[in-house]
Chain A
Amino acid sequence: MASCDTSQSEVSYITMSQRSSDSLAVERWEVQARKGVLELVVLAALWSGRLYGLELIRRLEGDAQLTVPEGTLYPLLNRMRAEGQVDAEWVEAEAGHPRKYYRLTPEGRRRVVQMARFWRGFAASIDAVLQPVLAERRK
């Protein structure tokens, strides 16, 4: 009885640890994929005009259902400004507190166009490769 219990719990332990290491690997992969598109997403959001940080976050959440953590976004915007992809300017808001607006520089515009073109082709290729995988699952 006792030995039966042990072997059962061992089996469930093995499947559990197997599953968690699988999901951990997927999670790690997801983090890499998310990081990879962060710059593209932020530059693309600035395409049609200047935005300030919170506005950018709300825009991405509202229009695209994408979340960008603030602790990542603000240093990223600062780095993009230092690299010349975006410009920043302070504007006094009617609410009383100033806002720091970001806009694309010509260099930033060129960069996001290149990135968007690459992404289109890349996503189409990945889709083609994924089709059999997803078709199999539907059956």
Chain B
Amino acid sequence: MNSAPAAEHEIESYLTRLRTSLRGLPAEQVEDIVREIRSHLRESAGTDRERLTEALARLGDPATLGSAYRMDDLALRAQSSRSPLLLLRLVMHWATRSLEGLGALVVAFLGYGTALIALGCALFKPFMPDRVGLWVQRVPPDDWSFQLGRVATAPADAREVLGWYIVPLGLLVGAIALTATSRYLLAKVRKFRSARSASGVGVRDDW
């Protein structure tokens, strides 16, 4: 008889931890998920502590369960908006758990970094024409030094080689780097999502 409040307490403490790990999702969605898991636990265990322990074990760590919901939500939003920021957030999260994710993060930084620099050059050139460009300088005996971007002062005895071509070129390179990186990451996200579900279907009493 007195196991009922204890079981109820255990359920609520699990749900509190689940709610914490769902932070970031819309409030109504959080409540909906919590309500569903509460209903599941109450019905599968009733007031039986042993069955409750088993049911909780099958649901797994609330932090893991919550992060499954959050990742799905993030992936869905990233896929529909194609926003580089959302994609970057997702890949950063993924990088913390797999080597492949870390690889994707490196590509993301390189790709988006290139896009940022190229677009930045194109956008800043009209406002500071003397300080944005690509400078090439000969370093004796047979080396070259390159400097691209916005500089405080144009390097002495270096030749600026792009001139105003940096505007269309920067826009082009930036756009290509931006879309190519996003497409690569979206493909990764799809793969990541299909692989993410922790475990698949099993056969009872196993094969």
Contact = CB atoms under 8 A, between A and B. Distances in A.
Interface of A: 31-38, 41, 52-54, 60-61, 65-72, 74-76, 78-79, 82-83, 90, 95, 97-100
B1 interface: no
B39 interface: yes
A1 B39 CA distance: 65
Interface residues of B, number: 33
Contact of A67 (B65, B68, B198, B201): B201
A90 B72 CA distance: 22
A33 B65 contact: no
Interface in B50-81: 55, 58-60, 64-65, 68-69, 72-73, 76
Contacts of B197: 35, 38, 72, 75-76
A35 B192 CA distance: 13
Contacts of A70: 40, 55, 58-60
Contacts of B32: 100
A94 B160 CA distance: 80
Contact of B59 (A60, A61, A71): A71
Given A35-B194, A70-B59, A95-B43, 20 more contacts: A32-B200, A35-B199, A37-B200, A37-B201, A38-B201, A52-B39, A53-B36, A54-B43, A67-B203, A67-B204, A69-B60, A72-B197, A74-B37, A75-B197, A78-B72, A82-B76, A83-B76, A100-B32, A100-B35, A100-B36
Contacts of A79: 72, 76
B39 A72 contact: no
Contacts of B59: 70-71, 74
B76 A72 contact: no
Interface of B: 32-33, 35-40, 42-44, 55, 58-60, 64-65, 68-69, 72-73, 76, 194-195, 197-205
Nearest to A40: B201
B64 A71 contact: yes
23 contacts: A32-B200, A34-B199, A35-B197, A35-B201, A52-B39, A66-B201, A66-B204, A67-B201, A67-B204, A69-B198, A70-B55, A70-B60, A71-B68, A71-B198, A72-B68, A72-B197, A74-B65, A82-B73, A97-B39, A97-B43, A99-B39, A99-B43, A100-B36
